[in-house]
Amino acid sequence: MPILTQSLTLEDLPPSPTEKTGWCWQSSSQSPNSILTDCSRYPLISIITPSYNQAEFLEETIRSILLQGYPHLEYIIIDGGSTDGSTDIIQKYAPYLAYWVSEGDRGQSDALNKGFKRATGELIGWQNSDDTYQPNALAYAAKIYLSHPETEVIYGLVHHIDRDSQFLEQYPVTTATVDNMIPYSAVTNHSVFYTAKIFQDGNFIDTNLQHCMDQEFILRLLLKQYKFIFEPQIIGNWRLYDLTKSSQQMDIWAREAFQLCQQVYENETCDRAVRDKAKICLYGLCLDNFSKGRVKVFQDTVAELIKIFGWQTLASGLGLKYGLSWLGEENLKQLLELKAKIYNRMKSNG
């Protein structure tokens, strides 16, 4: 299976489904020559797509990468043993893939690490199997890489799109700094390219994480003081739809976000202001767990705060909430709903 050494066009790929229109179905990126005007070569770019049972979106992801028009591309798909027809889609595009496999794994983080260890590119990115790149993302990444050889991580903008790939809003990408990565991620994987050095240095995705793996990875690289650069012409599309997050998954996110803030707070190499923000975030996430009715997560994070800051934690307003949490999830949910109704009634009465 090949590393691509020439640009692909619509005519090279299998025909689009007749009902599909727009970018990567009926149009492709412009020639990278118009972007890389001062460059004498095209650095090899590797893209990893972890995939599992997302046949509804996978073909669009694949086409958004192959139709970048970038003439030096290594595309790797690591599928976790899908049973929904995803492998049929992958096989359809297999002639243009450097490597693909469909087998059981330990989740998305494990799949990503498999791909990163196979990648041979000078620049390496990952795009999930329900997300896409905007046109020319790879060419602009290559341009920054060649013009700023000191850079080790390149990142761009992120757009939220819906199930039908329609623009919803711009994700709030901000400057890549440690304090901007908590409690929410200032930079997301959808528009990030890493130099090979990152992985040669032994940096890989934490397989213990299920939701915040890209946030933790970028945060870890910032703590290690790798050099980041922003390029707004690189745009990734992050798809939002009903099935992307269940309540159980949000519990996992809440625990992992708390864990990241705790890591920053306990990192004595961070500036005091950054650690102070991390402390505020720890309390904020804990209160958010209560307000969202995540009883077990709330109780566990309160217990963690007591370990870190002592019993005075409960004097900060958490004590009453901690006691109420023992009423149980259903009773607490009813109490919170009653509180919201009273608040809305008072607000409507002026």
Q: Name the residue with tokens 């060419």.
A: 139
295 vs 132, residue with greater confidence: 132
pLDDT given at position 217: 98
The phi and psi torsions of 168 (rounded to 5 degrees) equal: -105, -55
pLDDT given at position 316: 67
Using one digit for the tens of pLDDT, what is the confidence trace for 194-217? 999 999 999 999 999 999 999 999
pLDDT given at position 244: 53
pLDDT given at position 320: 85
Question: Among 52-56, 119-123, 314-318, where is mean pLDDT lowest?
Answer: 314-318
pLDDT of 117 > 90? The answer is: yes
Question: Among 33-42, 149-158, 166-175, 298-307, where is mean pLDDT lowest?
Answer: 33-42
Paired strand residues for 51: 79
pLDDT given at position 265: 97
DSSP string for 159-216: EEE-TTS-EEEE-------TGGGSSS-SS-GGGEEEEHHHHHTT----TT-SSSHHHH
| C-beta neighbour count of 127 within 10 angstroms | 25
Q: What's the whole-number mean pLDDT along residues 99-107?
A: 92
pLDDT of 115 > 80? The answer is: yes
Percentage of residues of the chain with pLDDT beyond 90 = 77
pLDDT given at position 149: 94
Question: Among 78-82, 289-293, 316-320, 331-335, where is mean pLDDT lowest?
Answer: 331-335
Question: Which ranges constitute the DSSP H helices of the chain?
Answer: 55-66, 86-92, 108-118, 137-147, 196-200, 213-223, 247-265, 272-291, 295-309, 318-325, 329-348
3-state secondary structure of 81: coil
CA–CA distance, 220 with 86 (Å, rounded to integer): 32
Q: Which domains occur in the chain, in start order?
A: 32-244 (3.90.550.10), 247-348 (no CATH)
Using one digit for the tens of pLDDT, what is the confidence trace for 208-265? 999 999 999 999 999 999 999 999 999 999 999 876 545 678 899 999 999 999 999 9
Indicate the average pLDDT of the chain. Answer: 92
Q: What's the whole-number mean pLDDT along residues 129-144?
A: 97
3-state secondary structure of 46: strand
